[in-house]
C-alpha cells in the first residue's frame, strides 16, 4: 500500500535501476507521483558469481514506471564512469526541469575470506560500491544546491555497513565507506536543507544470489558464526518493495528532520 502522492511533481534519480531494489524504488516513487531518471550498467562483472542485469531488465523497469502514468528517462551507464553518470542525470534534468531525490543504489557483492579476496575483486567492488556512490552524489549535489529547494539523498548500504559480516570484507569495507561518506555529506549539506541518509537492509531477494560463494563458507565456519547472521524477527529475506517503502519514507517530508542517519531494515539483525 502506498501513501498518497508524496512525490507529485518531484524528480528522482536512481542508479542500479534495472532490477531488484532499484527497480522497486523507481516504481514506488512513480506510484507516488515522481518522474524518474534511471541508469544501470546492464553488464556482467568479473568478480561476481551471479548474472548481471541486462538491457531487457532496464526496459522492464521503464515499462513498469510508465504503467503508473509517470515518465522515465533511462539509460545504460556504469557508475564507475563519472562522465556517463553526469550525462544521464543532465539529460534527465533537461527533460524534467528539476531534481529532488537521489538514490545511490548500484552495487555488487561477492563472498570470500578476506585474505583470499583477489586484487581484481577488491578493485571492482570498491569501484562500483564506493566510488560509484561518490560519482552519483558528486554529479547530483551541484544541481540540488543551485535549485535551492533542498532535497534528499539515500545511499544503499547494508547490515555489512554497520557490522563486520564474515566472508564479505571487501563488500563490508565499501558499505562502511558509503556510511561515512553520507554522514560527512549530511553535515556539509545541511545548510542547504539537503538530507543524506543510509539504508541498511539484511537479506533482500534481488537477483544477487550469493549462495555459490557463501554456502561453502557457512558450512566450513558454522562453529564460529554464532548469532552474527541471526535475526530477531522470524523472517529470513525481504522483498525489494519492502526496502523501497522505507526509502520512500526517508525521502519524504514525513522524515524531513532526519539526516546523517543509518536506517536498518534488518529483522533486528543489528540488535544481536
**How far apart, in whole angstroms, are the C-alpha atoms of residue 1 and residue 135?**
33
Residue 225: CB atoms within 10 A of its CB come to 14
Residue 265 to residue 203: CA distance in whole angstroms: 9
Question: Which phi and psi angles does 187 have, rounded to 5°?
Answer: -70, -40
**Of 171, 229, 235, 257, which residue is the catalytic one?**
171
CB 166 within 8 A of CB 157: no
Annotation marks residue 171 as catalytic: yes
Distances (CA, A) of 8 to 30, 32, 46, 167: 9, 6, 40, 42
- Strands 151-156 and 35-40 turn out to be unpaired
Helices within the chain (DSSP H only): 20-31, 55-67, 82-96, 119-126, 132-147, 169-189, 211-220, 222-225, 240-251
Rounded-to-integer distance, Cα 66 and Cα 3, Å:
19
Kindly give, in sequence order, each residue whose CB lies less than 8 Å from that of residue 223, ignoring residues fewer than 6 positions away: none
Using CB atoms within 10 A of its CB, is residue 33 exposed (0-12), middle (13-18) or buried (19+)? Answer: middle
Catalytic residues: 171
Amino acid at each position: 500500500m502506498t501513501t498518497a502522492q508524496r512525490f507529485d511533481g518531484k524528480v528522482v534519480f536512481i542508479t542500479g535501476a534495472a532490477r531488484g531494489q532499484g527497480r522497486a524504488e523507481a516504481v514506488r516513487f512513480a506510484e507516488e507521483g515522481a518522474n524518474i531518471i534511471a541508469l544501470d550498467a546492464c553488464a556482467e562483472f568479473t568478480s561476481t558469481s551471479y548474472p548481471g542485469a541486462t538491457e531487457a531488465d532496464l526496459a522492464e523497469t521503464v515499462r513498469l514506471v510508465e504503467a503508473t502514468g509517470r515518465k522515465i528517462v533511462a539509460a545504460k551507464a556504469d557508475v564507475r564512469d563519472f562522465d556517463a553518470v553526469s550525462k544521464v542525470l543532465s539529460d534527465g534534468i533537461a527533460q524534467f526541469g528539476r531534481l529532488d531525490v537521489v538514490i545511490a543504489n548500484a552495487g555488487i557483492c561477492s563472498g570470500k575470506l578476506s585474505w583470499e579476496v583477489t586484487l581484481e575483486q577488491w578493485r571492482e567492488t570498491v569501484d562500483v560500491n564506493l566510488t560509484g556512490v561518490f560519482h552519483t552524489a558528486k554529479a547530483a549535489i551541484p544541481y540540488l544546491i543551485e535549485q535551492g529547494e533542498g532535497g534528499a539523498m539515500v545511499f544503499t548500504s547494508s547490515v555489512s555497513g554497520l557490522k563486520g559480516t564474515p566472508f564479505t570484507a571487501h563488500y563490508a569495507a565499501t558499505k562502511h565507506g558509503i556510511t561515512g561518506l553520507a554522514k560527512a555529506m549530511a553535515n556539509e549539506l545541511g545548510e542547504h536543507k539537503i538530507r543524506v541518509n543510509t539504508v541498511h537492509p539484511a537479506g533482500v531477494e534481488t537477483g544477487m544470489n550469493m549462495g555459490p560463494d557463501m554456502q561453502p563458507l557457512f558450512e566450513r565456519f558454522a562453529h564460529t558464526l554464532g548469532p552474527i547472521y541471526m535475526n530477531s524477527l522470524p523472517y529470513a529475506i525481504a522483498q525489494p518493495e519492502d526496502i523501497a517503502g522505507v526509502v520512500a519514507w526517508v525521502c519524504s517530508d514525513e522524515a524531513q528532520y532526519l539526516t546523517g542517519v543509518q536506517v536498518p531494515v534488518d529483522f533486528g539483525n543489528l540488535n544481536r
